Amino acid sequence: MKAKLKEIGLVLATALGLFAMVFGVISILEPATVADSLSEPPIKVVASVATPTMETQTKAGASLFGRNCAHCHGDDAKGDEGPSLYDLTRSDARLTKIIKEGIKGEMPKFASKFSEVDIQSLIAFLRTLKS
Give CA angle at 105 (100, 108), nearest 5°.
30
Site for ligand HEC contains 77 (CB under 6 A): no
Q: In whole angstroms, how far apart are CA 69 and each of 39, 75, 78?
A: 44, 8, 11
Quick one: which H or E segment has residue 11?
Answer: helix 2-29
* Contact range with ligand HEC by CB under 6 A, out of 5-13, 17-25, 35-43, 65-73: 65-73
Provide the 10 A C-beta neighbour count for residue 64: 20
Site for ligand HEC contains 60 (CB under 6 A): no
Q: CA 131, CA 97: separation in Å to the nearest integer?
A: 24
Is the CB of 12 or the CB of 103 nearer to ligand HEC? 103
* Contact range with ligand HEC by CB under 6 A, out of 9-17, 23-31, 44-52, 81-89: 81-89
Residue from 57, 60, 82, 109 binding ligand HEC (CB under 6 A) = 82
Binding-site ranges for ligand HEC (CB under 6 A): 68-69, 72-73, 81-83, 85, 88, 95, 98-99, 103, 106-108, 110, 122
